[in-house]
């Protein structure tokens, strides 16, 4: 009898320690921030966004729920949005001044601070997967243009003709700008919805991953690269604190090192993730930019902050509660 009690006690201790190794899972995604106003949206389009956001966030969450890694959750959630023409990433990305698509993406693994990114790709169907491949299969962090495409082909990653990415909607947006004689020197298109996509997830082991993918800004020229593939600007993950993915006027996110600035506030000042995000976005505003961020901290607390009219966003917490929003409230 005494032996049985000892055995039960030992089993209890083991199960408690297994329990304490389990972290709160969670995933958050964005589909870009910008001038997204209800009055400019049809019910049908709004519905399409809601459905796609739900599909993407649920795909990632299901991976986490089944014990999968935050890396896989982030990659798969982002691929859903890259494969949808609704967002400025993969098919449906915005066009460059010479009517092409040029794609940037990055990924960071918060467990070991490994990171990978591509910039200025013309042919990679799912840039987030190429960014992960740079991290896992090359000694580098950032590959650009032809080199990024050549690397992807060598790694057996799906490539497509550049025309695959081009949609009529984006072609019209570009041509409207050109008709209005908006110069490529004009810093940014005021009425553009940015539409970049991103995701941050935390898995059962407490590993945080962050990924971001974009076509950049409409009418871009001279091989312009934004914040998305710049680790610490448009993307950052560190298990010590949090994961962050950004969207917005990339030049200002680079200048304010936004994703890392949020992480640094949490690490060095013990700031909470929501206030840290707000403060970093205030800095973006102070230099003349705008946009938004999503993030999760190591305890699964979420931030979905922006200083634009709206941001496509969705979150599923540890209990499986889902939030999907587009406008301010
Ligand atoms: N941040 C992206 C860039 O500047 C644009 C966006 O978020 O839509 O390239």
pLDDT tens for each residue of 226-276 = 999 999 999 999 999 999 999 999 999 999 999 999 999 999 999 999 999
Higher pLDDT: 182 or 74? It is 74
226 lines ligand 1 (CB under 6 A): yes
User: For a substitution probing ligand 1, which of 211, 217, 288 has the most ligand atoms within 8 Å of its CB?
Assistant: 217
> What pLDDT sits at residue 19?
46
Percent pLDDT > 90 in the chain is 83
Higher pLDDT: 176 or 81? It is 81
Query: What value does the mean pLDDT of the chain take?
Result: 92
Determine if residue 232 is left, alpha or beta; phi over 0 gives left, psi from -120 to 50 gives alpha, anything else beta: left
Give the number of the atom of ligand 1 that is nearest the alpha carbon of residue 247: 7
Q: Which residues of 85-122 are buried (b: 16+ CB within 10 A; e: fewer)?
A: bbbbbbbbbbbbbeeebbbbbbbbbbbeeebbbbbbbb
Q: Are 89 and 225 in contact (CB under 8 A)?
A: no
DSSP 156-193: T--B--GGGG--HHHHHHHHHHHHTT--TTSS--TT-B
Name the CATH topology of 23-327. Answer: 3.60.20
Q: Looking at residues 10-17, what average pLDDT do you find?
A: 50
- Between CA 160 and CA 190 the distance in angstroms is 31
> What pLDDT sits at residue 37?
85
Residues annotated catalytic, as ranges? 196
State the angle between helix axes of 43-65 and 70-82 in degrees (0 to 180), rounded to the nearest 10. 160
Distance 118 CA to ligand 1 centre (A): 14
> What pLDDT sits at residue 329?
77
> What pLDDT sits at residue 108?
98
- Between CA 197 and CA 168 the distance in angstroms is 20
Domain ranges of the chain: 23-327
217 lines ligand 1 (CB under 6 A): yes
Is the per-residue pLDDT at 85 higher than 50? Answer: yes
- Between CA 110 and CA 173 the distance in angstroms is 37
Higher pLDDT: 146 or 36? It is 146
- Between CA 257 and CA 90 the distance in angstroms is 25
Q: For residue 39, what are the CA distances in angstroms to 28, 30, 35, 234? A: 26, 21, 11, 29
Q: For residue 315, what are the CA distances in angstroms to 5, 293, 302? A: 44, 13, 8
State in Å, rounded, how far the first CA of the chain is from the last one: 60
Q: Looking at residues 93-105, what average pLDDT do you find?
A: 96
Q: Looking at residues 23-50, what average pLDDT do you find?
A: 93
> What pLDDT sits at residue 206?
98
pLDDT digits (tens, 9 = 90+) for 267-306: 999 999 999 999 999 999 999 999 999 999 999 999 999 9
Q: Looking at residues 41-45, what average pLDDT do you find?
A: 93
Higher pLDDT: 191 or 272? It is 272
Q: Looking at residues 21-42, what average pLDDT do you find?
A: 89
> What pLDDT sits at residue 2?
60
> What pLDDT sits at residue 116?
98
- pLDDT band per the 50, 70, 90 thresholds, residue 16: very low
pLDDT digits (tens, 9 = 90+) for 128-186: 999 999 999 999 999 999 999 999 999 999 999 999 999 999 999 899 888 877 665 56
Q: For residue 59, what are the CA distances in angstroms to 29, 82, 196? A: 11, 14, 18
Give the predicted TM-score (pTM) of the model.
0.92
> What pLDDT sits at residue 183?
63
> What pLDDT sits at residue 195?
85
Give the number of the atom of ligand 1 that is nearest the alpha carbon of residue 249: 4
């Amino acid at each position: 009898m005494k032996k049985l009690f000892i055995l039960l006690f030992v089993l209890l201790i083991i199960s408690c320690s297994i329990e304490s190794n389990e972290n709160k899972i969670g995933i958050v995604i964005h589909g870009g921030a910008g001038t997204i106003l209800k009055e400019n949206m049809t019910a049908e389009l709004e519905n399409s966004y809601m459905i796609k956001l739900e599909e993407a966030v649920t795909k990632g969450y299901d991976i986490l729920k089944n014990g999968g890694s935050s890396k896989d959750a982030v990659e798969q959630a982002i691929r859903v949005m890259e494969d949808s023409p609704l967002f400025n990433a993969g098919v449906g990305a915005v066009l460059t001044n010479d009517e092409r698509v040029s794609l940037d993406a990055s990924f960071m693994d918060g467990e070991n601070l490994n990171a990978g990114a591509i910039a200025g790709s013309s042919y990679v169907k799912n840039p987030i997967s190429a960014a992960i491949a740079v991290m896992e299969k090359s000694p580098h962090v950032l590959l650009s243009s032809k080199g990024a495409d050549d690397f992807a082909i060598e790694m057996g990653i799906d490539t497509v003709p550049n025309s695959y990415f081009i949609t009529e909607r984006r072609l019209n947006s570009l041509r409207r700008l050109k008709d209005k004689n908006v110069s490529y020197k004009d810093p940014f298109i005021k009425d553009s919805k940015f539409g970049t996509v991103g995701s941050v997830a935390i898995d059962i082991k407490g590993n945080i991953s962050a990924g971001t993918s974009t076509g950049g800004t409409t009418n871009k020229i001279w091989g312009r690269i934004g914040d998305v593939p710049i680790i610490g600007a448009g993307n950052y993950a560190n298990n010590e604190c949090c994961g962050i993915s950004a969207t917005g006027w990339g030049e200002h996110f680079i200048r304010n090192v936004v994703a890392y600035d949020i992480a640094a506030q949490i690490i060095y000042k013990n700031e909470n993730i929501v206030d840290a995000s707000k403060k970093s976005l205030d800095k973006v505003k102070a230099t003349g930019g705008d946009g938004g961020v999503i993030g999760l901290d190591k305890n699964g607390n979420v931030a979905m902050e922006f200083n634009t009219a709206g941001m496509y966003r969705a979150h599923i917490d540890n209990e499986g509660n889902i939030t999907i929003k587009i406008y301010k409230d």
